Structure formats: structure tokens, C-alpha cells
Chain A
């Protein structure tokens, strides 16, 4: 079983559309994250959720919103997509303390 799974793996959509990326973890972890990989492969934190509460909300556009229906899921909703939103988005999870993070396989979003 995949520990952290994201769907879809690839997403091509037009500017102005609204889309969602789903993330699920079966590790029983308390905290989940969304990272954006920029063109230089740099991973930048977007959001993290701990026990269904948003604990970090970095300076991302409010068109991006995380939604956590339960502890095992953290979905990323993006409204009014722009060309600059094209990137690879990674979901991750970790247990409390200094534990390692486990990453999903990434979702490559292309806005045309």
C-alpha cells in the first residue's frame, strides 16, 4: 500500500478553471503538508494541517485553499488557475516530534 498517495498524477487545465488535488495518507500521521516545487526543483511549503487545524499558512494566494475532511486527507483546491500556478505539487505527512516526512509522488499541474 502506498503510504502517501496523491491524485491525479498529471493535471492539464485551462486558465481560469478551478481544480482540486487530493492527498491521502494511511500512516496515521498527525500532520500533513502541501509543498510546491518551483522550476528550479526547490520545495516551498504552502500549508500544513495538524489534527485538522491549519497551523501554517504561508504567503500563498488565497486562490489556494487546503481542505481536510479528516486526519488522513488534505486536499488542495485552486480557484481561477493562472499560468504561473504550473508546477509540481507534493503532499507529505509526518508524525509528531522530529519525525521524518513521507512524500506523495507529486502532481504535475500544467495551466494552458
Chain B
């Protein structure tokens, strides 16, 4: 059984704050690590897919890093905005074409 752990479970910040979340996953037989953004009443949408140790990806104010040797990834949000409020999911795969194994997510709430 593959366990993907995310922390914190939930987080509340003020507009303009920067924040980060953690995802830990099994470091053996690693293939890819995904981050998804899931807004209420919508479907999860992909943010990043990372495969190489040391990968760093950025999309606007959101960025992510990957450490496959120790089995963790960080997601950073700079200058949080209310529209960033969502659940952020981390998912892991061990080989191509196999299902994503999701963590339970970190729910971010940003107040204006």
C-alpha cells in the first residue's frame, strides 16, 4: 500500500501571506509526483507534474520542488489571494500508465 501524506491538513492565511505545504511519499521506485488544485464543486486540475530529483516548477505565484531521494515535495504560494482558496492535492505514481495515488490534501483558506 502506497501512502502519500500531506501536511498541514488545513491552513488559514491572510491575503498577501506566503505559505507552503508538504507532501511525503515513498522514495523507492519513484516515477512521478503531481500537484492538483481542487476548488469546491469543481474537479481537480493539474498544477505540476515532476519527475526528476531537484525539479522545480513555477506557475505564476505558485511553485513546487521535488526531492525524490528523501521522498518529499513542497508547494509554495507567494502572496496568497482569496482565489487561491482550494484544496491542494499531491499524488504519486510508481510507473507509467498507473493510477495516481492521492494524499488527503491541504485545504487553504485565504481571507481578504
Q: Which residues of A contact B (CB under 8 A)?
A: 4, 30-31, 33, 35, 40-45, 48, 50, 55-56, 90, 96-106
Contact = CB atoms under 8 A, between A and B. Distances in A.
Nearest to B38: A41
Interface string B47-59: 0010100000000
B73 interface: no
A45 B100 contact: yes
B104 A42 contact: yes
B75 interface: no
Q: Which DSSP category, helix, strand, loop or mixed, fits chain B's interface?
A: loop
Contacts, number: 55
B97 A43 contact: no
Contact of A96 (B44, B49, B96): B96
Interface of B: 31-32, 34, 42-46, 49, 51, 87, 89, 93, 96-102, 104-105
Nearest to A44: B102
Given A42-B104, A43-B89, A105 B43 contact: yes
A97 to B, nearest CB: 5
Contacts of A35: 102
Given A98-B32, A98-B96, A101-B34, A106 B43 contact: yes
A81 to B, nearest CB: 24
